[in-house]
Amino acid sequence: MSEALDRILNDARDFSEKVEQCRHAASYNAADVRDAYGRLGRLRERCIKERDGHTLDPVEHQELRKVFEKDVFIKGMLDGRTISEHVYKRSRGGPVLVDSRTNSPIPLDVQTSAGALFARPIHTVHRHQGQDQSVNHLEQLQGADRRIKSAIARAMNKEPSS
């Protein structure tokens, strides 16, 4: 395992621990859920930094790239983080795309309020020019955690998937 992957593992553990904290909480805490989304973003940023620094070995790079750069679901989770942290993606234009666990995009207006989106554990969002859709934050976070753990396990075992 490269030193770069070891650094990524630290951020992955931080994310996973926060997801577990949310999962076992006695009641829903919006700040914890938003923090989990933020940790996911920091984990992706760590992966990109290591990628750009060419410090990952080829299999590690390939497996992490699949989950952090090509996975539609993870990309949607990261777009959800932009709402959580009140970041507007104005340069991209159009709606923010938050993807459900089934990889079906949920386009939201860029002005979507973090307070409204994270107010409840399961929230119905108003789609940009479409029908309403429910977002279950805990299911989303657990799904992201599973995908990331799987990619890291493949990277650690040096067994690239096809």
Residue 76 has pLDDT above 70, yes or no: yes
pLDDT confidence band for 89 (50 / 70 / 90): very low
Residue 104: per-residue pLDDT = 56
- CA 143 from centre of chain: 9
Residue 36: per-residue pLDDT = 94
Residue 67: per-residue pLDDT = 93
Of 114 and 121, the structure prediction assigns the larger pLDDT to 121
pLDDT confidence band for 105 (50 / 70 / 90): low
- CA 90 from centre of chain: 20
- Single-letter amino acid code for the residue at 144: A
**Tokens 């410090």 correspond to what residue?**
55
Which whole number is the average pLDDT over 90-112? 51
pLDDT confidence band for 162 (50 / 70 / 90): low
Of 161 and 132, the structure prediction assigns the larger pLDDT to 132
Coil, helix or strand for 15? helix
Of 77 and 117, the structure prediction assigns the larger pLDDT to 77
What does the alpha-carbon distance between residue 118 and residue 34 come to, in Å, rounded to a whole number? 7
Residue 121: per-residue pLDDT = 87
Average per-residue pLDDT in the chain? 79
Residue 114 has pLDDT above 70, yes or no: no
- CA 64 from centre of chain: 13
What are φ and ψ of residue 57, in 5° steps? -75, 165
Residue 87 has pLDDT above 70, yes or no: no
Residue 47 has pLDDT above 90, yes or no: yes
Query: Of 101, 95, 160, which Cα lies nearest the Cα of 136?
Result: 101
Contacting residues for 97 by C-beta, under 8 A, at least 6 apart = 75, 76, 79, 105, 106, 107, 108
CB-CB contact of 110 with 116 (8 Å): no
SS3 content of the chain, % helix, strand, coil (to 5): 60, 10, 30
CB-CB contact of 161 with 63 (8 Å): yes
Q: What is the pTM of this model?
A: 0.78
